[in-house]
């Protein structure tokens, strides 16, 4: 362990003693197990560069680890429900590289994935390679995180994307949507191939991390019990009909839930039209409703305490008096009725979080 990392880890241990972590985990376990407490639980998001365009140094494990440790230290004084875990970054496209896709990044901007399926029959020639460079880099990073922190801090899973969204990276997005109707056999073959290898991919992460895993990536500052399964991002749920979801997507979400003890679903779009289908998954644990208001989500789920809900709170809620009033109204409406976690956007960093923290602590 280098000197800088050792100093950061020592400081981390002093700020996050085991009893503090255990107390927070107990609070989360109550929520995940369906106990909607009266207290509102919240965390800040966007405090660091998690959601900025992925810099090339996300692949430099030494720099990444020190950055994360410093972030944990900086936010220790906030009154949020935050349990530190080491996020190796989203790495969207890394899983697609398993099938030969090239991941391109220019000028430190977001990564772009070049599809390898040009014709429907190409799906039958795909061969997964777990020795692909980006895959190896991810596993090496996770192993490094665990070794350097002596297993004190769990590691998040990255965001490989779920079966459908991964398919849209491997097979051109628009062509894939048309193929639901014109080439359903090839689409299902690809989705099954992806699903089988996603399961292997997650299992490898668990082994490399010695099972010290926080199996959620959206949002990586939230905490998910290992025995609840894994979090999946399938953004294309927002643009597929309930009929398409039930035939082409749900069977593979179910397969992952069966293999890994459950699924927690995220979509960057509004997939409320598919909620009735999602609830049919045996082992469905809950959703991160990135684009859906908390009260609307809970109403669609009939405030069912069997599910855990994460909702993003945009900055507008606490930048005006009307925003404050709206938030207080929503919280009073939902308090104690279902287990949920609020993600508070703080894109201006720690200073903004420190400004609104006393107010949030008061109303929750």
Catalogue all structural domains in the chain, each as residue range(s) with its CATH number. Answer: 22-363 (3.20.20.210)
Distance, in Å, from the CA atom of 156 to the CA atom of 221, rounded to the nearest integer, reads: 9
Token readout for 155 is 């590691």
In this structure, what token pair is assigned to residue 265?
């679903």
First to last CA, the chain: 40
Residue 174: exposure state from Cβ atoms within 10 A (0-12, 13-18, ≥19): exposed
Query: What's the pLDDT band for 186 if we cut at 50, 70, 90?
Result: very high
d(CA 299, CA 292): 11
Mean pLDDT of 215-235: 92
pLDDT of residue 47: 62
Question: Mean pLDDT score of the chain, rounded to an integer?
Answer: 87
More confident residue, 300 or 153: 153
Under the banding of pLDDT at 50, 70 and 90, the label for residue 118 is very high
The pLDDT of residue 317 is: 58
CB-based contact 263:308 (threshold 8 Å) = no
Across the chain, the runs of DSSP E, i.e. the strands, are 41-45, 102-104, 112-114, 155-156, 213-214, 230-233, 263-267, 284-289, 308-313, 340-345
């Amino acid at each position: 362990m280098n000197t800088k990392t050792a100093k950061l880890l020592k400081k981390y241990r002093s700020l996050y003693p085991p009893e503090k972590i255990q107390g927070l985990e107990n609070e989360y376990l109550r929520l995940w197990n369906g106990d909607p407490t009266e207290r509102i639980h919240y965390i800040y998001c966007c405090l660091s560069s998690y959601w900025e365009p992925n810099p090339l140094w996300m692949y430099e494990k030494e720099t990444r680890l020190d950055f994360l440790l410093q972030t944990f230290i900086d936010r220790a004084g906030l009154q949020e429900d935050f349990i530190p875990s080491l996020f190796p970054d989203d790495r969207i496209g890394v899983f697609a590289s398993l099938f030969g896709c090239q991941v391109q990044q220019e000028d430190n901007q977001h990564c772009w994935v070049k599809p390898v399926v040009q014709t429907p029959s190409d799906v039958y020639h795909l061969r997964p390679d777990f020795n692909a460079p980006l895959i190896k880099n991810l596993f090496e990073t996770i192993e490094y995180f665990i070794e350097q922190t002596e297993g004190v801090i769990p590691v998040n899973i990255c965001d490989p994307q779920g079966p459908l969204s991964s398919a849209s990276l491997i097979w051109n997005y628009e062509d894939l949507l048309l193929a639901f109707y014109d080439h359903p056999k090839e689409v299902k073959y690809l989705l099954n191939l992806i699903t089988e290898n996603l399961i292997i991919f997650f299992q490898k992460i668990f082994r490399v991390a010695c099972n010290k895993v926080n199996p959620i990536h959206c949002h990586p500052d939230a905490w998910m019990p290992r025995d609840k399964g894994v979090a999946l991002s399938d953004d294309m749920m927002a643009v597929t009909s309930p009929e398409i979801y039930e035939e082409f997507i749900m069977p593979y979400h179910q397969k992952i839930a069966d293999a890994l003890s459950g699924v927690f679903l995220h979509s960057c779009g509004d997939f409320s039209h598919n909620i009735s289908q999602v609830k049919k998954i045996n082992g469905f644990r809950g959703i991160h409703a990135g684009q859906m208001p908390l009260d609307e989500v809970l109403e669609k789920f009939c405030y069912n305490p069997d599910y855990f809900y994460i909702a993003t709170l945009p900055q507008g809620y606490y930048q005006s008096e009307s925003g404050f009033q709206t938030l207080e109204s929503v919280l009073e409406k939902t308090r104690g009725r279902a287990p949920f976690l609020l993600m508070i956007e703080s894109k201006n960093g720690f200073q903004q979080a420190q400004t609104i923290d006393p107010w949030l602590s008061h109303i929750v």
